[in-house]
Structure 1
Amino acid sequence: MTKKKPNFESTVKEVDELVQRLESGDAGLEDSLETYEKGIAAIKAAQQQLVEAEQRVQLLIDKASTEESSEDDAV
């Protein structure tokens, strides 16, 4: 069974929770480092999700532009 990829909102929420944990100052050095590493990984995942969303939007814009151009040619 494949693991479902988290959505952008849940990834941002995870980053927020990790930041709060780090800012609390309650964790020791090793736990703080692990939390920081998880945060960096989550930020990279969120950035990748944004890139993928931007690509999808661009494809939709290109498709709409192509369809509009085809309709203009038919008239």
Structure 2
Amino acid sequence: MAKTLGTGRHRALIALLIAKRESAGLTQTELAAKLGEYQSFVARLESGQRRVDVVEFLELADLLGFDPHEALDRLSRIKE
């Protein structure tokens, strides 16, 4: 399997998460607190230095108020 960090889909995922956090009116620090993590955890996700696993993705969708199925459908249509 090829590396996924930095691919078009990974960049689109990051952009989606940033946009959803901002539209929820949350800072990185506030989102981190809701996740029980440090701000640096969110910063690493949003800078593309860290992958988002499925369970984290579902928790982020719940906290940020977006449909994970719809988001994955959109991401699946992105060609590398």
| TM over 0.5, shorter chain | no
Which protein is bigger by CA-based radius of gyration?
1
Structure (1 or 2) with the greater helix fraction:
1
- The structure showing larger relative contact order (alpha-carbon pairs under 8 Å, at least 6 residues apart) is 2
TM range (shorter): 0.3 to 0.5
Q: TM-score of the superposition, structure 2-length normalised?
A: 0.34
